[in-house]
Every structure is written in C-alpha cells, then in structure tokens.
Amino acid sequence: MARWRGARSGFVSTMHPAAAAWFPTHTWQEPAWRVPELLAAKADRTVSVVLPALNEEHTVGEVVASVRPLLGSLVDELVVLDSGSTDDTVRVAAAAGARVVRRTEVLAELEPVAGKGEVLWRALAATSGELIVYLDSDLVDPDPGFVPALLGPLLTEPAVQLVKGFYRRPLRLETVEQGTGGGRVTELLARPLLAALRPELAGLIQPLGGEYAGRREFLESVPYATGYGVEIGLLLDVYARSGLAGLAQVNLGVRKHRHRSLTQLGAMAGQILNTALRRCGVPVDADPALTQFVQVSGEWLPDVVAVETGERPPMRTVLAERAG
Ligand SMILES: O=c1ccn([C@@H]2O[C@H](COP(=O)(O)OP(=O)(O)O)[C@@H](O)[C@H]2O)c(=O)[nH]1
Ligand SMILES: O=C(O)[C@@H](COP(=O)(O)O)O[C@H]1O[C@H](CO)[C@@H](O)[C@H](O)[C@H]1O
C-alpha cells in the first residue's frame, strides 16, 4: 500500500534527522488496506473499539454506527465507556449497537475520577481485545474507514505499538472543504512543547488526536493520565519504551468534531503541559492551578481552576493485584 508520495520527500529532510528518517516509512498518506486483507492479517487476534463519552448524545450514535458494520469481522467488540453522562448518551449509544459500560461498573472498587483518560484506562479492564482502537464520541460525519486505517500498521508491522490518526481539522464545520484551524492545542502547545522536549517526535502530524490504536500489551504497561493529558502521556511513553519504531501514523482524511471554547482548551492545555513536563522529568508544582479571567459587569475577575494531574497506574499492576 502507498506509504509516501516520494515527490514531496524533499520537505521531509528539513525535519529533525530522527523524525526525517522515521516519517517516510511510518506515515501512510494513502492507507490502502481493504477489510479482507486486514482480516487475513488479523487471523485469530482480537480487536476492541472503545469510545469515551461524556454527554455526547448528539454524536455518539453516528460514531457507533460508523463502526457497527465491522462488528463480528474486523472488530470483536464495540464499547462506549460512559464518563458520567447526564444526557441521553447511554441510551443513544446502546440503541446504535454498542455495549455501554458506565465508568462505575468497571473496577467498581475504585472511586472514579473525572476525565477522559480515566475512562480510556477503565476500558482496558472492560475489554479483552489484543488490539484496541480509541475513537472520540464527538466526531461529526465519522468515516467508516477510520478503524481499518488505524489497524493497518498494527496488523502488518509487528514493531509498531501505537498508531495515531492524522487529518485536516476544520474549525468551522460549515467550511469543511477549505477548513483548517482545528487542533488549537496541538498547534499552540503540543507541537512547540515536543519541539523543545522531544524534537525526535516532530514528525507526528496529530500528536493529540483522539483517534488512535495500540497493542494491549503496551497500553496495559503504562500509566494513564486521568484527564486530557492521556494522549501526550501515551505518546511520550511509547517513544520512551520503543523509540520511533514503535510509532506509526495514518491519514484519516478530515476530522470534524465539537469544538470547545478557548477557556476550556486553556484548562485542557494545562493538563497536557503538566503531563508532558512530568513525563520528560521537568519538575512541576504538585498541585498546579491555572488562573483564567472572566469579565463580570465590566469588571475582570480571576477564575482559578485546578489543573487535573491525576494518573492511574499501569492496568497490568491493578489487574495483578486484583487477581491476588
Ligand atoms: O471527562 C471526559 C472528557 C471527555 N471525554 C470524551 O473524550 C472525547 C474527547 O473529549 P473532548 O471532545 O472534550 O476533547 P476535544 O476533542 O474537544 O479536544 C469525547 O468523546 C468526550 O466525550 C470523556 O469521556 N470524559
Ligand atoms: O488537538 C487539539 O488541539 C484539541 C482541540 O481541538 P480543536 O481546537 O477543538 O479542534 O483536541 C485534541 O486534544 C485532546 C487532548 O489530547 C484529545 O483528547 C482530543 O481527542 C483531541 O481532539
């Protein structure tokens, strides 16, 4: 299958040498795997698709429906891990054909904490697939090709441990044809942060993207940041353990999703920054707080938010302790 259009290889060499060496052989610009080919490569291995969901009643049904046709062939289980939704997410997800697991129903002895990473981590205990695909539940017009593309490298390249999706990310849904501008935390924080701390990872096109797949053996062996730091944490951990050879990325086309406000993304960025600094051995405040500002009747007032920096230990250790 097509990995890289060589005509553009000149630009690749302008990156950090390690990134430039990795990019051409671990980037699928035109993923061409067909399901029958992947089924043959899959053989007797198993695949779990996991959707983290917090109040996603408007979109979770379509995301589930985009994966549903693969259930029973390429996909062995399709799970929505509900993150404490207070809307109709659970009903909509179940009606669309997913197995819905509330975060309180798995590892019930552990009091759940808020956050995306918490449910991605709990999903490890709620599923059994050797390969795990994570998709966000807020996707708009989700492409059924996401899962096959993300599984491609895992099913054909034994050294790869984690596969990240990449895509064009329109910020205004109505201008998807030309739209870009999405991935604000990626462009304003993650990319500059990786450039400063791990320039070898400069070749990752979407380091924070919520569509990715990994081997259970790797995912159960690393801690999970319980908030939005989960993606940067997993990325840094796979690099620390397997080097760039453990990473691949596939073109998923266009990704449209619900966009949060700048204030919300500021809090998200705080979690990502804190996780990345800790993974890279940079001392950080034990209980960081982020002071944002709001204008009330003309007066600017501080709004101090705690930066969630919780971590869950490697699932492997938790399951071993439970097994006694
Ligand atoms: O505490 C949380 C926060 C987020 N999410 C889910 O994680 C995904 C990505 O979250 P969000 O859309 O807030 O991030 P963004 O894509 O805007 O960066 C979505 O499916 C959310 O429903 C979750 O399950 N629990
Ligand atoms: O990539 C980003 O900058 C943020 C915000 O995206 P938008 O500016 O709302 O398109 O979205 C990602 O970051 C989160 C933290 O890693 C992930 O959990 C999300 O899945 C991903 O969409």
Kindly tell me if the per-residue pLDDT of 178 is higher than 70. Answer: no
What residue spans define the domains of the chain?
Answer: 2-323
Rounded mean pLDDT of 271-296?
Answer: 95
Q: Which range is least confidently modeled, 77-81, 102-106, 181-185, 273-277?
A: 181-185
Ligand 1 midpoint to CA 137 (Å): 7
Testing ligand 1's pocket by substitution, the residue of 64, 116, 230 carrying the most ligand atoms inside 8 A of its CB is: 116
Q: Which residues contact 195 (CB under 8 A, 6 or more apart)?
A: 202
What atom of ligand 2 comes closest to residue 206's alpha carbon? 1
Q: How confident is the model at residue 54 (pLDDT cuts 50, 70, 90)?
A: very high
ipTM above 0.95, yes or no: yes
Ligand 2 midpoint to CA 81 (Å): 18
What atom of ligand 1 comes closest to residue 137's alpha carbon? 20
Whose alpha carbon is nearest atom 1 of ligand 1?
115
Domain 2-323 has CATH 3.60.15.10: no
For position 4, what pLDDT does the model report? 62
Q: Which numbered ligand comes closest to the C-alpha of 101?
A: 1
Rounded mean pLDDT of 37-56?
Answer: 98
Residue 259: CB within 6 Å of ligand 2? yes
Ligand 2 midpoint to CA 72 (Å): 30
pTM score > 0.80 for this model?
yes
CA distance readout (Å), 177 to 14, 169, 173, 186, 255? 28, 10, 9, 21, 11
Rounded mean pLDDT of 207-230?
Answer: 98
Whose alpha carbon is nearest atom 13 of ligand 1?
260
Kindly tell me if the per-residue pLDDT of 7 is higher than 60. Answer: no
Pocket of ligand 1 (CB under 6 A): 52-54, 56, 83, 114-116, 119, 136-138, 210, 257-258, 260
Take residue 312 and report the two structure tokens written for it.
């869950």
Testing ligand 2's pocket by substitution, the residue of 208, 234, 274 carrying the most ligand atoms inside 8 A of its CB is: 208
What atom of ligand 2 comes closest to residue 255's alpha carbon? 10
Residue 184: CB within 6 Å of ligand 2? yes
Contact 191/184 with Cβ under 8 angstroms? no
Residue 153: CB within 6 Å of ligand 2? no
Q: What are phi and psi of 131, to 5 degrees?
A: -115, 140
**Nearest 10 degrees: Cα torsion 82, 83, 85, 89:** -30
Q: Which numbered ligand comes closest to the C-alpha of 269?
A: 2
Contact 90/60 with Cβ under 8 angstroms? no
